Amino acid sequence: MTEAPEWTAAAGALADKVTANAPGWHEAVSNTPRHQLVPRWWRRILDSPTQEWELASPPERSAELLRAAYTDETLVTRVGPTHADHAAPGEHGMGDPTSSSTLPGLIVSMAHRLDVQPGQRVLDVGTGSGYSAALFARRFGDEYVTSVDVDPYLVEAARTRLAGFGRTPRLEAVDATGELPDTEYDRIMATVSVRPVPASWLRALRPGGRVVTTVAHTALLITADMGTDGIARGTVQPDPATFMETRREADYPGKLDDVFVAARVREGEDVRAPEGAIPDLWQEWPLRWLFELNTPGVETRAATYPDDGRRVVWLLAADGSWARAEDGTSPVVHQGGPRRLWDALERVRRRWEENGRFPLHSLRAELSPKGSRLVTPDESWRFPI
Residue 313 burial by CB count (10 A; 0-12/13-18/19+): exposed, middle or buried? buried
Reduce the DSSP state of residue 36 to 3 states and report it: helix
Rounded to whole angstroms, the Cα distance separating 382 from 246 reads 23
Reduce the DSSP state of residue 270 to 3 states and report it: strand
Among 230, 315, 301, smallest CA distance to 268 is for: 315
The catalytic residue among 30, 48, 57, 99 is: 99
φ, ψ of residue 379 in degrees (nearest 5): 65, 15
Rounded to whole angstroms, the Cα distance separating 198 from 181 reads 14
Over the Cα atoms of the chain, what is R_g? Answer: 22
With beta carbons less than 8 A apart as the criterion, state whether 8 and 34 touch.
Answer: no
Rounded to whole angstroms, the Cα distance separating 264 from 256 reads 12
Reduce the DSSP state of residue 216 to 3 states and report it: coil
Rounded to whole angstroms, the Cα distance separating 55 from 45 reads 10
362 part of the active site: no
Residues involved in catalysis: 99
